[in-house]
Chain A
Amino acid sequence: MQNYFQELSHKIFQLIKDEEILLLNYASEDSDFVRLNHNKIRQAGNVRQQDLDIDLIIHQKQTNAALQLSGNIDDDISKVKTLLNQMRDQIQYLPDDPYINISTEINNTETLEENQLPNPNEVLEDIINTTRDLDLVGIWASGSMARGFANSMGQFNWHTNHNFNFDWSIYHQDDKAIKQNYAGFHWDHDYFEQKIAFARETLSVLELPAKNIKPGPYRVFLAPSAMQELMDMLNWGGFGLKNHRTSQTPLLKMISENQTLHPHVSLFENNREGLTPPFTKFGFLKPDSIPLIQNGKYTQCLVSPRSGKEYKQHVNCSSEYAESLELSSGNLHQDHILEQLDTGIFISNLWYCNFSDRNACRITGMTRFACLWVENGKPVAPLNVMRFDESIYNILGKNLIGLTSEHEHILDAGTYHQRSQSSSRLPGALIKDFRFTL
């Protein structure tokens, strides 16, 4: 793929005129997807796709186009030629754009990863045989992904991943289930078997009569996968410069009223440990790390090229959305978390969160999967699903008791249009007075 993108970009740059600048972004994947239900194959298949995104800049005017490539150089060049002519026709009607911002330094990079992926058909057989007596439902996704950037000024960047992401749930009955995930680069049967053994232990708790609780405040432990849902909400406009400068961030009170989170809360975009490419859509390189919140105080924004120009800030991302978010760890030990929780709710997963009052950073959502009622440090019953409605200023502020010392590296299982490269490193959190409403 790298050779193809190099050859294609070289030929495309021969098509442009002197005053034209061209930026090319390439994305491809060759992925197997297997959907399972009741531990059998519901749908299985493979998707091969290559996308090319083109930015044409003439003086202070810019237009964008995207197309899917066939992989046949003559066909693809022919399509690009047609599209380029369409873009040239369009650009003459555009007024000058004051916020065009592209990197003019030449920064070539190459990230190549060894492909250690297993034969997916054999792994699926292993999964089905290992969980033969269980009601397993989920998705296997695996294969190679590539991202490339080239511009007509001579920059070339390349980045590849070869990984799998198996995301599944094992059901007891109705909505009582344990959700698990195994993502990585090479398949380890023993590790998978250990996870399934843990699931079997948890199922024995899910078989107990479920507990209903009344609305009100409760002491809870949010496992890293539950924290992920809350981080996704903060990430929805919380960290971008444009959202800050237009007062649309859900963290508005941290800016306008100097509201703070708990001093143990530090959030940063950890590009160095993430899976995303080190380069951005407009050719800028990303810093290794961007502190977003430090010791509970708002520190820095994610700055896209366009916002960077508009608000005169240095560019540090492609889009103003964290893709490798890390929340600093604390001093609670995962192995003792049930004792620390004492009596309350172990929340394994949250679900379908949204803002109920964006200005107050108040979030509503549901518990899901293996959420357990814990008494005196022992899980005694699964919890019937409950709705919470609570502000982040409480959850990660005055009601935060502590964070675990261990992080979980969560690789996003998302596959909208193409497999996600986002990931996060999150601890669990022990919280008091977490408010349930329905």
Chain B
Amino acid sequence: MDIQHYISEFKSIVPAVDHWSLRFVSNYSESLSVRQGIVQPPELNLTCGVHLTLMQGNGFAYAATSNLTTEGFGHIIDNALRWLESSKKFGLFSAQDIPLASHSGNYHSPVSQPWDSMPLNEKLDQLQKINQNLRINDSIVDWQAQLNHRIVNSHLVTSEDINISQTFHYIYPGYEAVANKGAETQIRSGGGWGTARQGGLEQLARYDFPLSAQSTAEEALALIDAPQCPTGSLSLLLKPSQMMLQIHESIGHPLELDRILGDERNYAGTSFVTKDMFGDYQYGSELLNITFDPTITSELASYDFDDDGTTAEKQFLIQDGILLKPLGSSTSQVRAQMSGVANARACDWNRPTMDRMANLNLEPGDKSFADLVSNIENGVLMDTNSSWSIDDSRNKFQFGCEYGRLIKDGQLGEVVKNPNYRGISATFWRNLQAVGNSDSFEIWGTPNCGKGEPNQVIQVGHASPPCVFSNVEIFGGE
């Protein structure tokens, strides 16, 4: 994109307003997949567009287009001005209170092994080999492997001559095996399926891609013949692949300040957390330390600036179990009169910013994985999320995993299928009994966090060690 050319075009026709900003976003992605040994049609995706925000007096409005011509800029100016008038008359808060970006800068995902360093035929060969390693038995009735790549360029330019340029590289690997016998089907995934990282092909080894393909299929087969997860109030050891979801749903969403301010009440929901709880509320046991951390380079939502141009830095949201700070962007901070973090994010050029999780992590403790297991008398280990459900205040939850193992007297035991557990956010985290150390700390995340009206799906990172919770209501299938 020739940003300078577009800015010149825009400046030549924009009327006098108090403030304008242009956020140019372009995406380029390639998706490769092999299912049952058949190469699926590869997909290339190229998108680009611009998001305009105008502020005048107490009003503000946006307009966005994929038409990057003088005509297109004319349309977005007209449409933003049209909604600016309604905003002046009926706005929830004054545009004059919205903080503006004040620093320029650049960010680029570190990449040591670029996507193009491996030719297409080699990538497809690797996916074919994974397919062969997944198909270990006739009971494996479906199997597939994928390797996807995406580059996002984002440029924020404002009427105050702020210029922020950020380039992100992402990699999305993974595979899954489906095992079936009669009316019993079990799915096991591996190699990073369902998650992603910033960076290049060097990230694949972090997910044991492609080495864990055969063990993934073996675990799917083991699940078919495994007993159901037992029912009871037991200890629960969650691996980082499930801690990701636990953090996301029952800490991340309830701490989003726009939810607390009521913006999401018609769609994603509200929060059991209220403004007066920050500073002294015991969210979890003293082992619970949660950070907003945009500095871990390979995590999905690392950046130097959010999409409103606020400088991002690591901050504790919960420290020693005490709730300190919400996930609130600069605009929400003004509305709520609270401090927050740099988390104004938009999924693409065609959507406005709102409060989002970015990288939300649980800081490591001091226990090795072996220590965690050895201290459990009667419990269940759960690995890889498969089911998620939580109420609109983000309190009563029920989650399920692909794979479970019993733990008896400090020893890992037999495999169990359909492991589920339920609880209440407000009390669950207070039962956090042990936290894995930095050696067991893993970086996960999800590319598919949905929220907002109009709807947006965005990428968020969650890094965590494995953790142990006591007295959890655990159960299996029918």
A binding-site residues for B, Cβ under 8 Å: 31-35, 37-38, 40-51, 55, 62-72, 75, 79, 83, 86-87, 90, 93-95, 97-99, 121, 124-125, 128, 137-139, 141, 167-169, 171, 174-175, 177, 179, 246-248, 252-253, 256-257, 351-360, 362, 364-366, 368, 385, 387, 389, 391, 414-417, 419, 437-438
B350 touches which of A43, A49, A169, A257 (Cβ 8 Å): A49
Q: How far is the CB of A403 from chain B (nearest CB, A)?
A: 25
Chain A binder among B200-208, B234-242, B451-459: B451-459
User: Of A97, A247, A257, A356, which one neighbours B41 at CB under 8 angstroms?
Assistant: A97
Residue B44 lies at the interface, judged by CB distance under 8 Å to chain A? yes
Q: Cα distance A248–B348 when bound, in Å?
A: 33
Q: Judging by beta carbons under 8 Å apart, are A71 and B72 in contact?
A: yes
> What is the CB-to-nearest-CB distance from B308 to chain A, in angstroms, rounded to a whole number?
13
Residues 231-263 of chain B, each 1 if its beta carbon lies under 8 Å from chain A, else 0: 000000000000000000000000000000111
CB of B85 within 8 A of CB of A121, answer: yes
Asked if B178 is an interface residue, CB under 8 A from chain A, the answer is yes
Distance (whole angstroms) from the CB of B431 to the closest CB of chain A: 16
Which of B42, B64, B178, B387 is in CB contact (< 8 Å) with A364? Answer: B387
**Among residues 7 to 50 in chain B, which have CB atoms less than 8 Å away from a CB atom of chain A?**
38-49
Instruction: Tell me, yes or no, whether B62 is within 8 Å of chain A by CB.
Output: yes
> A interface, by DSSP: helix, strand, loop or mixed?
strand
If A44-B87, A97-B38 are given as contacts, then 10 extra A-B residue pairs at C-beta distance below 8 Å, sorted by A number, are: A45-B61, A49-B49, A49-B350, A51-B47, A68-B66, A71-B72, A83-B44, A246-B141, A416-B457, A438-B398
In the bound complex, residues from chain A placing their C-beta under 8 Å from that of B83 are: 32, 34, 44-46, 121
CB pair A359 B185 closer than 8 Å? yes
Q: How far is the CA of A175 from the CA of B264 in the complex (A)?
A: 12
Write 22 A-B pairs (CB below 8 A) sorted by A numbering: A45-B62, A45-B80, A48-B64, A65-B43, A68-B46, A75-B69, A87-B44, A94-B42, A121-B86, A125-B90, A174-B270, A175-B392, A246-B141, A248-B187, A351-B392, A354-B389, A355-B387, A359-B478, A366-B390, A416-B457, A417-B348, A438-B424
Q: Is B281 in contact with chain A by the CB < 8 A criterion? A: no
Q: Which of B41, B265, B450 lies in contact with A177, CB distance below 8 A?
A: B265
Contact of B265 among A46, A72, A137, A417 (CB under 8 A): A137
Interface residues in B426-478 by Cβ distance below 8 A to A read 450, 453-457, 473, 476-478
Distance in angstroms between the alpha carbons of A421 and B183 in the assembled complex: 34
Shortest beta-carbon contacts, A-B, top 10: A357-B477, A45-B62, A139-B453, A46-B79, A415-B454, A246-B142, A44-B83, A247-B180, A65-B44, A40-B92
| Chain B 87-143 residues near chain A, CB threshold 8 A | 87, 89-92, 119-121, 124, 141-142
Nearest CB on B from A261, distance (A): 16
Residue on B nearest A39 in the bound complex, by CB = B90
- Chain A residues with CB below 8 A from B41, complex form: 55, 62-64, 97
User: Would you call A35 and B453 a contact (CB within 8 A)?
Assistant: yes
CA distance A253 to B63 in the complex (A): 49
Instruction: Determine if B391 is an interface residue (Cβ-Cβ < 8 Å).
Output: yes
Nearest CB on B from A212, distance (A): 12
B85 neighbours in A (Cβ, 8 Å) = 121
Do A356 and B80 touch across chains, with their CB atoms under 8 A apart?
no
Look across to chain A and name the residue whose beta carbon is closest to the beta carbon of B352. Answer: A43
Query: For A86, A174, A366, which residue has the most chain B Cβ atoms within 10 angstroms?
Result: A366
Which of B49, B87, B120, B455 is within 8 Å of A41, CB to CB? Answer: B87
* Least distance between A349 CB and chain B CB atoms (Å): 10
> Please, which residues of chain B bring their CB within 8 A of the CB of A256?
182-183
B389 touches A365 (CB 8 A): yes
CB-defined contacts of B89 to chain A, threshold 8 Å: 125
Chain B residues with CB below 8 A from A69, complex form: 66-67
**Which residues of the partner chain A approach B184 to less than 8 Å between Cβ atoms?**
359
Which residues of chain A are near B64, meaning CB under 8 Å?
Answer: 45-49
Q: Given B67, B120, B182, which contacts A90 in the complex, CB threshold below 8 Å?
A: B120
Q: Which of A40, A66, A139, A167 is B45 in contact with, Cβ under 8 Å?
A: A66
A70 touching B86 by the CB < 8 A rule? no
- Judged by a CB distance under 8 angstroms, whether B4 is at the interface is no
B400 within 8 A of A: yes
Flag whether B408 is at the interface (Cβ < 8 A): no
Q: Please state if B48 and A68 are interface contacts (CB–CB under 8 Å).
A: yes
User: Which single residue of chain B is at the shortest CB-CB distance from A43?
Assistant: B352
A169 to B79, CA, bound (A): 27
**Knowing A94-B39, A356-B420 touch, does A50 contact B66 (C-beta < 8 A)?**
yes
Task: Establish whether residues B265 and A171, one from each chain, have CB atoms under 8 Å apart when the complex forms.
Answer: yes
CB-CB under 8 A for A141 and B65, given A169-B265, A359-B185, A360-B477: no
B-chain residues with CB within 8 Å of residue A414 when the two chains form the complex: 455
In the bound assembly, the distance between CA atoms of A124 and B41 in angstroms comes to: 45
Q: Tell me which of A43, A247, A356, A387 has the highest count of chain B C-beta atoms within 10 A of its own C-beta.
A: A43
Across the interface, do B266 and A352 meet the contact criterion of CB distance under 8 Å? no
Question: Among B79, B261, B270, B348, which residue has its beta carbon within 8 angstroms of that of A45?
Answer: B79
With both chains docked as a complex, state the minimum distance between the C-beta of A414 and any C-beta of chain B, in angstroms: 6
Whether, in the assembled complex, B393 has its beta carbon less than 8 Å from a beta carbon of chain A, the answer is yes
In the assembled complex, B75 has its CB within 8 A of some CB on chain A:
yes
Q: Mark B399-432, 1 if CB is under 8 A from A, else 0.
A: 0100000000000000000101010100000000
Does B82 sit at the interface, judged by CB under 8 A? yes
Q: How far is the CB of B263 from chain A (nearest CB, A)?
A: 5
- A32: chain B residues within 8 A (beta carbon): 79, 83
Q: Out of B39, B44, B178, B396, which one reaches A385, CB within 8 Å?
A: B396
Minimum C-beta distance from B63 to chain A (A): 5
Determine if A364 and B389 form an interchain contact, defined as CB atoms under 8 angstroms apart: yes
